[in-house]
Amino acid sequence: MRSACRVLQSVDCCRPETPRSRSRSRRPAGTDPGLIPAFWSAVDTCNRPPGETRVPGKSSPDVVRVTPRRPIRVCLVAPSLDILGGQAVQAVRLLRGFGHVPSVAVGFVPINPRIPGLLGLLQRVRYVRTAVLNYHSGEAEDHLERWRRSAIPVVRLADALVVPSGYLVDVFARFGLRARVVANIVDLDQFQFRARRPLRPVFLSNRNFEAHYNVACVLRAFALIQNRYRDARLIVAGDGSQRRQLQRLADELQLVNVAFVGRVSPDHMPSLYAAADVYLNAPDIDNMPGSILEAFASGLPVVTTDAGGIPYIVRHGETGLLVPRGNHEGIAAAAIRLLQDASLSERLVGSAREECRRRYTPEPVLREWVRVYRALVAYGMAGKAEFTAQPARQLADASEMVENQARPLRSGRSSGAGALPS
């Protein structure tokens, strides 16, 4: 399944442990301790108990109760920022966000260099009581279809499947897999809002230079925009296998005022949004691009194709303008419409900003993650068998045991977003 399943979260919750079992659990028997030092270092760190309360129970005198003195311990397994892409960014935001949540203690294991047999190794480590697969790729349908015989059993190894959009809930459902939505995070302190009055013809594209993101479509759209607005500018951030091809296309289209700025680190990305006035996005395949949420937060009106999960987060005419995939003429027309209709642009920006505040800031997103973790902890502490056959259904049952949960996140036109179908 290539590198699509990139965020794996392990939760220490399903079985009580004793000091002896904890000391034995740090490495599987027969494993070379020098094989993956970063992995074992993180596991050892996660295994250090921040404080625990042992309460005698009916079934065992060694039952560990989760109390405010013993946070839920979570280990994020994800790309580091050495890998260009939104999955690494989301992992870092989760890591930082949980630093302010006292009920959760988080460790981090990067997948680069890739850990061979990751799921198998994690299952052999006693620290890892529960595995939560947080799947982000917009190519899920292609992955599951092509590698059905291997991908689906691997996904079923996880105790809970969590995805960032209702689109992926629907995709996994078609393959008999149940998923729950926990959205991506955008930090409003990092991406600061700026009102654009009037809207200038300064555009931003910041997707990786890979075929399925179709940055070429943005360049062709900008050529049409520049026919109308000769002073129009385009900032193109990113890198990838199509870099030379895209630079050649810009020359062939005789574009002016186009700046290819290369790879930009997440810390410097806010300055690019601040410099631009309109965000252009033209992927053929996508899920829930964090760049759209960053544009929302920064005050840029969004023009995007309707690929994959994008219609689940962008409502046409309300929070952005949607165009069919591959339609560069439509992207150009929508961008020119924004420049000519100030009231439309301001309405889209205002609605998008409110959407960010309500659904994608750290507080509501981390609250949903804590609910997932608490549900898994409650199920484990109730003495149930480990999640195997129907983990998503068991997670839903466990959620009811924890609290009367608020209505899950819903986005766009998906009736199943944020819910666990029964």
Res. 385: pLDDT tops 50: no
Grade residue 378 by pLDDT with cuts at 50, 70 and 90: confident
Min mean pLDDT across 10-14, 109-113, 238-242, 387-391 is at: 387-391
Min mean pLDDT across 15-19, 112-116, 121-125 is at: 15-19
Each residue's pLDDT tens digit, 198-212: 999 999 999 999 999
Closest CA to 31 of 125, 111, 127, 130: 125
Res. 404: pLDDT tops 70: no
pTM value is 0.71
Is the distance from CB of 102 to CB of 366 less than 8 angstroms?
no
Average pLDDT, the chain: 77
Which of 257 and 7 is assigned the larger pLDDT?
257
Each residue's pLDDT tens digit, 2-37: 444 445 565 554 343 434 334 333 333 433 333 334
Task: Tell me how far apart the alpha carbons of residues 59 and 261 are, in angstroms, rounded to a whole number.
Answer: 62
Min mean pLDDT across 17-21, 298-302, 413-417 is at: 413-417
Q: Which ranges constitute the DSSP H helices of 290-390?
A: 290-298, 310-313, 328-340, 342-355, 362-381
Supply the pLDDT for residue 147: 86
Each residue's pLDDT tens digit, 69-111: 578 888 887 777 666 677 788 888 888 888 888 888 888 777 7
Supply the pLDDT for residue 53: 32
Is the distance from CB of 360 to CB of 294 less than 8 angstroms?
no
Each residue's pLDDT tens digit, 306-325: 999 999 999 999 999 999 99
Supply the pLDDT for residue 79: 76
Closest CA to 232 of 207, 261, 202, 254: 202
Res. 359: pLDDT tops 50: yes
Supply the pLDDT for residue 134: 86
- Number of alpha carbons in the 13 Å side-chain half-sphere of residue 416: 18
Domains assigned to the chain? 7-185+361-402 (3.40.50), 202-359 (3.40.50.2000)
Grade residue 396 by pLDDT with cuts at 50, 70 and 90: very low
